[in-house]
Structure 1
Amino acid sequence: MYKEHLQSINGVELYAIIGFLIFFIFFVLITIHTIKMDKTRVKRLSEIPLEDEFNANRQ
């Protein structure tokens, strides 16, 4: 059912290519940002989930 409707749209394959490119560019940018991130910030961010539990146990 959907196949017939999608085939009737001119240039529908362009939407798939554009969607893939947006996803791929976003993934590459996030990967580059993560690799270049300051290591002390990464350590601080990785400890955030433990801070609330640690402070609750201290009180």
Structure 2
Amino acid sequence: MELRRETGRDEGLPRWVRTLVVLAVMVVALVVVAMLLLGGEHGPGRHTAMSAPDATPVDR
């Protein structure tokens, strides 16, 4: 079975699929670069109270 068109190109993924994959990879790369360069307060420490008063034990 011949998988080539008259132009000689192999049948593969449609152009729109390749375009979406390339765009998705570019967006993910951009997000990763932005996270690395901009940093920010990400991570588990972000969800802890920074200005909470010290807890004192209560004797009962």
Bin for the TM-score computed over the shorter chain: 0.3 to 0.5
Structure number with the higher helix fraction is 1
Normalised TM-score (structure 1)? 0.46
State the structure with bigger RCO (CA 8 A, min sep 6), 1 or 2: 2
